[in-house]
């Protein structure tokens, strides 16, 4: 098959969706399919280059609307690259990408991975909603990361017959301890100090709820926090840490290279994903933490977070935006190491059984074959 992925960013830009597309593209190419990725460049020039063996076209961007880069070259390249594509695979939400496919109608079939609803940008949504509904209507299949998300989405609820669940997947082997990663984890433990360590990994954006985590840590004096990541909320969160007098207990690790990330998970005692909006449809960092054997505290958003992290089995689930409830869950795990171990072992098993990279690629390939009317090999 000839598969064309369309989104706004790709490696080396890092993020959950960017990583997901990279793993899909590399995995499908390794299976013998012809894969191309079409995204925008961070500058004004158009670049064409292979990235780890996958052909990638990054069209020059002219400006941004909200967080969506606009590139007129994307429309031209979609027409060119999609001329003989079997599958044009869109990753939503990215309004210019969906609009481009509506106008160009590239490829034999359109498949959309629906990563999340637009929640905060109400003005953008008013303009986006009509053509989002049109492209969803035209798509042959809509992929979601978990069966819970469509239930709460006004865009997906009417389209149940098109929806296919394709779990996001990771390579669990990447998070198995090695001598090098364990040495690095011990170094990190010494750096961050004694006591149970609560870890957060992710972009510091409005929907991640890191401010709620900081407030919860103010209520759990025996726990230290490590925040891995950067983003637009960083200055505000650092200010809150200073305001609450937590500078000695809450550490900012900033951006961490992919190869160093497993050691951070191994240094932690528990992982916290305190997201507060449906923009968090699942959380690949949740999969990574669980693959590392960490018990998880996450929030009930009506999305995939509570589908992956099973309350009372792999960790604990609390209401979003509630620092008291979050603090109680963190404290419960901090004070009961045996429960942490039991939850962590169950978490690792859940990832191995349902969220591996191989399973994700198998499920995606079956959808491609279905919409093309082909029988599985």
* pLDDT tens column, 88-104: 999 999 999 999 999 99
- The pLDDT assigned to 38 comes to 98
What residue ranges of the chain have pLDDT lower than 70?
119-124, 375-377
Cα–Cα dist 164/185, whole Å: 39
CA separation, residue 178 to residues 264, 292, 342, 344 (Å)? 13, 12, 21, 18
- The pLDDT assigned to 375 comes to 60
- The pLDDT assigned to 127 comes to 82
State the pairing for strand pair 163-165/197-201: unpaired
Hey, what domains does the chain have and what are their CATH numbers? 2-169+356-372 (3.40.50.2000), 172-354 (3.40.50.2000)
- The pLDDT assigned to 258 comes to 87
- The pLDDT assigned to 118 comes to 79
Q: What is the DSSP string of 170-188?
A: B-GGGGS--HHHHHHHHHH
CA separation, residue 134 to residues 102, 128, 184, 374 (Å)? 8, 10, 50, 26
Per DSSP, what are the bridge partners of residue 56?
Answer: 37, 49
- The pLDDT assigned to 241 comes to 98
3-state secondary structure of 235: helix
2-24: b (≥16 Cβ within 10 Å) or e: bbbbbbbbbbeeebbbbbbbbbb
Q: What is the DSSP string of 283-296?
A: -HHHHHHHHTT--E
- The pLDDT assigned to 66 comes to 74
Cα–Cα dist 266/189, whole Å: 10
- The pLDDT assigned to 265 comes to 98
3-state secondary structure of 161: helix
CA separation, residue 185 to residues 171, 217, 251, 286, 351 (Å)? 20, 22, 15, 19, 22
């Amino acid at each position: 098959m000839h598969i064309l992925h369309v989104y706004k960013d790709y490696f080396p830009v890092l993020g959950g969706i960017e990583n997901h597309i990279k793993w899909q593209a590399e995995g499908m190419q390794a299976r013998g399919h012809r894969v191309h990725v079409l995204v925008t460049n961070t500058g004004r020039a158009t670049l064409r280059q292979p990235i780890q063996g996958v052909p990638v076209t990054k069209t020059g961007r002219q400006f941004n609307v909200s967080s969506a880069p606009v590139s007129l070259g994307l429309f031209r390249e979609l027409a060119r690259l999609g001329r003989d594509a079997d599958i044009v695979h869109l990753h939503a939400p990215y309004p210019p990408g969906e609009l481009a496919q509506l106008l160009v109608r590239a490829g034999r079939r359109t498949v959309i991975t629906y990563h999340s609803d637009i929640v905060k940008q109400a003005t953008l949504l008013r303009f986006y909603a009509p053509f989002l509904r049109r492209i969803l209507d035209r798509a042959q299949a809509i992929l979601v990361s978990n069966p819970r998300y469509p239930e709460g989405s006004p865009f997906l609820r009417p389209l149940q017959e098109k929806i296919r669940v394709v779990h996001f997947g990771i390579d669990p082997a990447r998070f198995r301890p090695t001598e090098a990663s364990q040495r690095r984890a011990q170094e990190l433990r010494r750096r961050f100090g004694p006591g149970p360590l609560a870890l957060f990994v992710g972009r510091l954006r409005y929907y991640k709820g890191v401010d709620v985590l900081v407030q919860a840590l103010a209520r759990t004096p025996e726990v230290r926090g490590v925040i891995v990541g950067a983003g637009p909320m960083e200055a505000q969160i650092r200010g809150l840490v200073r305001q609450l007098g937590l500078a000695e207990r809450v550490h900012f690790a900033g951006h961490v290279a992919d190869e160093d990330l497993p050691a951070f998970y191994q240094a932690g005692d528990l992982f916290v994903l305190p997201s507060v909006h449906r923009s968090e449809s699942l959380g690949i960092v949740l999969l990574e933490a669980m693959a590392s054997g960490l018990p998880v505290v996450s929030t009930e958003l009506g999305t995939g977070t509570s589908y992956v992290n099973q309350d009372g089995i792999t960790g604990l689930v609390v209401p979003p935006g509630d620092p008291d409830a979050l603090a109680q869950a963190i404290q419960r795990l901090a004070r009961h190491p045996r429960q942490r171990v039991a939850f962590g072992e169950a978490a690792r098993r859940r990832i191995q059984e349902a969220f591996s990279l191989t399973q994700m690629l198998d499920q995606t390939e079956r959808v491609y074959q279905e919409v093309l009317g082909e029988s599985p090999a």
